[in-house]
Amino acid sequence: MEMESTLKEYYGFSTFRPYQKEIIEKILGGRDSLVVMATGSGKSLCYQVPPLIAKKTAIVISPLISLMQDQVMALKQRGIKAEHLSTAQTNLSAQRNAENGEYDILYMTPEKACFVPNSFWSRLLTTGICLVAVDEAHCISEWGHDFRVEYKQLYKLRDVLLDVPFVGLTATATEKVRNDIVDSLRMKDPHVAIGSFDRKNLYYGVKSINRGSSFVDELVAQISKHVANAGSTIVYCTTIKDVQEITKSLCEVGIKAGMYHGQMSNKAREESHRSFIRDELQVMVATIAFGMGIDKPDIRHVIHYGCPKSLESYYQESGRCGRDGITSDCWLYFSRSDFGKAEFYCGEASSVNQKKAIMDSFMAAQRYCMKATCRRKLLLEYFGETFASNKCGNCDNCTDSKEESDISREAFLLMGCIQSCGGYWGLNLPIDVLRGSRHRNAQSVEVLMIVLVDRRPRRLLKTSLTISHTMDLEKIFQQIGGRCWVFN
Ligand code: ADP
Ligand code: ZN
């Protein structure tokens, strides 16, 4: 009962959400815990309630100062004593208050937590620490989509705070990442709570596009329709140039659109964020710099312009939609040229493992784009959740009636042609060859094919020409894309 009354007293809620109570009980019992639950499911409460009951300080490790500031402010408004410490800050009195155990909840950046002197911890231990929560715990793992070196150092804290329960919390974690969190934080037999990743109120849709001004016009028209209804929209772009172009086009038709990207000053970004929260902006056009800590409940549309760099980040970014549980849409527009960015993304890798992780999750995002069957099923199964049905009824592949046709023959031809071209020409050339293009490169490949394909070269070329007159190869290719994965 004490837990419920604490919940009511500080938060005004009458009941706990699924998993919250059991997690809090385990933590109070001193057990390490791993909490993997979707955005908006109420993870924060799991580490905010124990200190109020145990009357000991909770240490919360969080990656972003702005995020900590928001949380501290919200907690103070509820009458909970909270503060944050970072290496950037020289607030000695806050640090002194902290070590005297005067805060219920103390937020710290990972650097700060690893570099405060041991005397800080030993003093605080005498008044009591009830838990160490590591928020956004996937940042610990090289297999995750947002690896942060500072997070890797957190095991040092474990050595100092031997008997304090550690709690890792994240909204996205594949099994590999989960194991990494447990190992890195040296958790002992942790209690693991994995909620469902299924965001039932979100509709998932994907469309293949040709980049260019005509698509931007189409996008603007679509957003105009959205903003006529209430609620906000986020458009995620893969480059700052796209952010600028789309914002400009939206503003030109009278839509209140703002920007958010890494080349803006901190002040301009904060201002943009604030205007969005206050509904002074209808649309936020952003790079993924517009990330953690966006807690706006009524975002109705999240649009991705370009294939995201990982399926984890797509899930997280699209997950900012519909936090209030009301029906909302997540649309992804990709062009095949987006898939050529693998090398660029791998440039961020600092190890072979990390490069492989980046590559794998980018490939998963591509599979999501090309998928011809239920997208929700793919998403959930990627995160290790079983989705019993083959159709969710709430994604484009489930709701759009698509005619099924057997294109094995065309697929075979295309694969053969790619192989004949040597496998290193990209896709346009094999398609040109099959179309019987008169383009110089395509013609030279015809020669190449005769040389390389020693059996029946004529027949292959002849069939190619037949195809070019009767079918939309672009479309065929999309469908084949779906099948290629089966071939693999
Ligand atoms: P997460 O950290 O998992 O993204 P939050 O902790 O920010 O989610 O919670 C999302 C929203 O749900 C918040 O507005 C929070 O106040 C609300 N919430 C959390 N727990 C409960 C509860 N037991 N009853 C009602 N609302 C809750
Ligand atoms: Zn579906």
Q: Is pLDDT larger for residue 467 or for residue 294? A: 294
In single-letter form, the type of residue at position 104 comes to D
Pocket test for ligand 1, best of 4, 44, 68 (most atoms within 8 A of CB): 44
- Is 140 in a helix, a strand, or coil? helix
Is residue 2 packed enough to be buried (19+ CB in 10 Å), middle (13-18) or exposed (0-12)?
exposed
* Lowest mean pLDDT segment, chosen from 247-251, 421-425, 451-455: 451-455
pLDDT higher than threshold 90 for residue 80: yes
Q: How far apart are CA 413 and CA 406, in angstroms?
A: 13
Burial class (CB in 10 A: 0-12, 13-18, 19+), 456: exposed
Query: What's the gap in Å between 395 CA and the centre of ligand 1?
Result: 26
Per-residue pLDDT reduced to its tens digit, 152-178: 899 999 989 999 999 999 988 788 899
Q: Do domains 2-194 and 202-399 have the same CATH topology?
A: yes
pLDDT at 67 over 90: no
pTM for this prediction? 0.72
pLDDT at 133 over 70: yes
Cβ atoms < 10 Å from Cβ of 169:
26
User: Which residue, judged by its Cα, is nearest atom 15 of ligand 1?
Assistant: 42
Q: 461 pLDDT exceeds 60?
A: no
Ligand nearest to the CA of 202: 2
| Residues with CB in 5 Å of ion ligand 2 | 374, 376, 392, 395, 398
Using CA atoms in the order 464, 466, 470, 471, what is the torsion angle rounded to 10 degrees? -10
Decide: 43 in ligand 1 pocket, CB within 6 A: yes
**What is the predicted pLDDT for the residue at 484?**
27
pLDDT at site 92 = 81
Q: Determine the pLDDT at residue 440.
A: 57
Report residue 226 as tokens: 């959205």
pLDDT (mean) for 215-240: 89
The pLDDT of residue 422 is: 65
What φ, ψ does residue 35 adopt, rounded to 5°?
-115, 115
Would you say domain 202-399 falls under CATH 3.40.1360.10? no
How confident is the model at residue 241, as a pLDDT?
A: 95
Report the pLDDT averaged over residues 75-97. Answer: 88
Confidence of residue 467 (pLDDT cuts 50, 70, 90): very low
The residues pairing with 132 across neighbouring beta strands, listed in sequence order, are 59, 166
The first and second tokens of residue 403, run together, are 């005619």
Residue 118 phi/psi, 5° resolution? -55, -30
CATH no. for 2-194: 3.40.50.300
**pLDDT 10s digits, 313-369:** 899 899 999 988 899 999 999 998 898 888 888 887 778 888 888 888 899 999 999
The first and second tokens of residue 6, run together, are: 């604490």
Check residue 73 and give its pLDDT: 92
Contacts of 195 (CB under 8 A, 6+ apart): 18, 19, 36, 37, 38, 41
| Average pLDDT, rounded, for the chain | 84
Does residue 81 carry a pLDDT above 90? yes
Domain boundaries, the chain: 2-194, 202-399, 408-487
As a whole number of angstroms, the distance between CA 110 and CA 64 comes to: 10
* 321 contacts: CB under 8 Å, gap ≥ 6: 199, 202, 234, 299, 300, 301, 302, 328, 329, 330
Per residue in 335-347, pLDDT (tens digit) is: 988 988 888 888 8
Task: Quote the Cα angle for 177-183-184, to 5°.
Answer: 85
Ligand having the closest approach to the CA of 7: 1
Q: Which ligand is nearest to the CA of 36?
A: 1
199 CA distance to ligand 1 centroid (A)? 15
Radius of gyration of the chain (CA): 26
For residue 72, the CA-to-ligand 1 centroid distance in Å is 15
- In the reported structure, the alpha carbon of residue 152 is separated from the centroid of ligand 2 by a whole-number distance in angstroms of 37
- As a whole number of angstroms, the distance between CA 400 and CA 403 comes to 9
Confidence of residue 439 (pLDDT cuts 50, 70, 90): low
